[in-house]
Structures are given as structure tokens and as C-alpha cells.
Amino acid sequence: MRDLSKLMQGRLILEDGSIWHGTPCGASGEAGGELVFNTALSGYQEVITDPSYTGQVVVMTYPLIGNYGMNAEDEESPGPCVSGFVVRECTELTSNYRSQEDLRDYFTRYGVVALEGVDTRSLTLRVREKGAMRCFITSESLSDEELAQKIKTVPDLIGQDMVEKVTCRESSSFDSDFVSGFKPGLSTDGGRSRKVVAFDFGAKSTIFRSLRAVGCEVIVVPASTSAAEVLAMKPDGVFLSNGPGDPRPLTYVVDTVKGLLGQVPIFGICLGHQILALAIGAEIEKLKFGHHGSNHPVQEIDSGKVEVTAQNHGFATTAASVEAAGGRVTHINLNDQTVEGFEVPGSMAFSVQYHPEASPGPHDSLYLFHRFRDMMGTEERSAPA
């Protein structure tokens, strides 16, 4: 039974000084980070365990969260990555045969501070109006003066290297094969497997499973791996993963990608897309409130096809700078016309800003993994000179 003494005890403050009340539905304590809103209707477990949310507090716009519980199979990383979580209602009843734990117990077990009973509609509108802001949340009923002091202690994520906090520490093979959305018979073409060296900038496990599903051997490497080390592995292709934060401080990764361009096929998503943009000399800008959700429309320019996509990013590259750097924009966001994909002609490199593996989200964009496999070809490759 819910502890009635905790009703409306929690507080949330944004850096503009606005305050929201809520009820604790996770661990006791306090947390801070950049507040972003996510518009997905389901898939809250994948959101919570996505390393791209490191340093961020997520507010879900869908009002009822937790109704199908949590399970070990849907984790995108070994545990929660969000700094905090805010919802309108966190259900106490889970109804799914796969459920192993309810969301409240999950948050308590991992020490995640979460609030429910918050007016998430007005909170989301505030972020849309003023942009992403730092926030502080607490399970305690602190005074306005105490909250005003607490928000000052929350660091600004812009200019920080967040990848260093989440990347793997050593190289390893990724061997899990299961991924939903791929139809039987599409995962192989009768040829040999392709060796893909995948940079882990804070990758979701479903991305690597998606590469496996199209017949790739996946070697996961830390973000600090050099171009020479990658080429010594004689890969058929290089994958640049998603990850948290601002790509502009990641100069060491950008230099590595510069050394790989034209040497081996490259496919990047999300943060990897932004890093590829920086590597060719394009520019990165901070979006007002970012794209976070599983229902963003994207158009492929050549075919005119519209995909509904999963997204999670606060930065983007600009079309003018991509074209000035010799790239070609391939996909655009139909909500705000931002760049959602580009290719580098003559360099065997392409990237998209969204998440083609979804999890959560639709499977409209799974074809991109097949496109990457086709780009790697069927011939045997030797290490580039």
C-alpha cells in the first residue's frame, strides 16, 4: 500500500526558478541533471536504461508509466542510466506475463530518485517554451529557499565529455543474437559474415544485436581506440554508436574518425552521426529542447519515403555546413527540418541522427543495417595500407 505520508512530499525545481510538486515513487534522496521530455507511449524501460540519457532527468509525456512492469530481457545496458525520472502516474499494478518487477521497486533497488503526481503537461510546455534546463529533484519537501540553493549545484552538461563516463573499458566480442523486427531470412544473404568494429560511445545493446541480425561479427571497442588500432583488426566496416552529451569536446574521437574516412565503410547513428559531421568539417548546434521519443517523422530525400523514427539527442548538425564540407544531406526531420542523415560521397560513409534499431519505437528504419552490410560488400578485405 502506498505510504500516504509521502503524498506530494517531493519537489522539482528548474533553473528558471519554477517549482513543481510530486510524490516519491523510487529511491529516497535527491538528483539533478538536464531535464528533457520523452514522447514515447511505451518502452519506458528502454528509455531508462539508454546510456544516452546519462546526466539527464527524463519526464515522460504519456501519463501512465509502469503498467507492464520491468524485465531483464529489455535492458539496453546493465542498469538505469537516467539521473532521475518524472511521470504523471507510476502505476502500482503491473499486467504482463514478462514482468519480473514493478517500476517502483526497480527504481528503489537501483537508487533512482523518481517523482509521480507531477503536472507533466505544464512541465513539458515550460521546457518547450524556454528550452532544456538544468533541474533538481528531491524526495523531500524542501523549502523554496533550499531548492534555490540546490539547483545551483547541478552542473551544466554543455562542453563536458560524457562519453568517458559510459564507454566500455576494453574491447570485446558481442555475441547476443536476439532482436525484434527482423524477419526470418533477412539476416543473411548466403555470404560470409562481416567484421564490424563498433565504437561504444554509450551504445544500446539492441544496436549491436541489429548488426548481428544482418550477419555481422561485432567487436565493441572503447571510445579512445585509435584509427591505427581499428585498422589493425582488418574490419569490413566501422560503426559509430549513440551516446550522451555534447559531441564537440570529443576531439580525440573526431580525429580517429578522420583517420578512418575513406579507409573502411562507416555507419554512424545519433552521437556517431554528429561525430562523423565534425570529422568532415561540418558544424554542430544545440537544439532548443532536443528530440526525444519514438514518433518523429523523417523523410528520405531521394525516395520521398517517410519513416516514423525513434530519437534521443539534444544536438544536431546543419545542412549548410554538411554541404560546405562535401557531404550530402539524405534525410530531414519533418517537424523542424533539421538534418536527420547525410552521406560522404566517395568515402563509404553515412549516418543518421535517429535510432534505426528503435527499442522503443517503430521498425521503419531497420533497412539501414542492411544498407551498411551491402556497403561492406562480399569480397574479402585486407587491412588498408
Catalytic residues, which ones?
270, 355, 357
- Give yes or no for a contact between 354 and 298, defined as CB atoms under 8 angstroms apart: yes
Nearest Cα neighbor of 146 from 7, 288, 19, 307 is 19
- Give yes or no for a contact between 132 and 36, defined as CB atoms under 8 angstroms apart: yes
Show the cell assigned to 201: 560511445
Each residue of 93-105: b (16+ CB within 10 Å) or e? ebeeeeeeebbbe
3-state SS, 175-212, equals: CCCCCCCCCCCCCCCCCCCEEEEEEECCCCHHHHHHHH
Nearest Cα neighbor of 357 from 274, 280, 270 is 270
How far, in Å, CA of 155 to CA of 44, rounded?
A: 25
Show the cell assigned to 132: 532544456
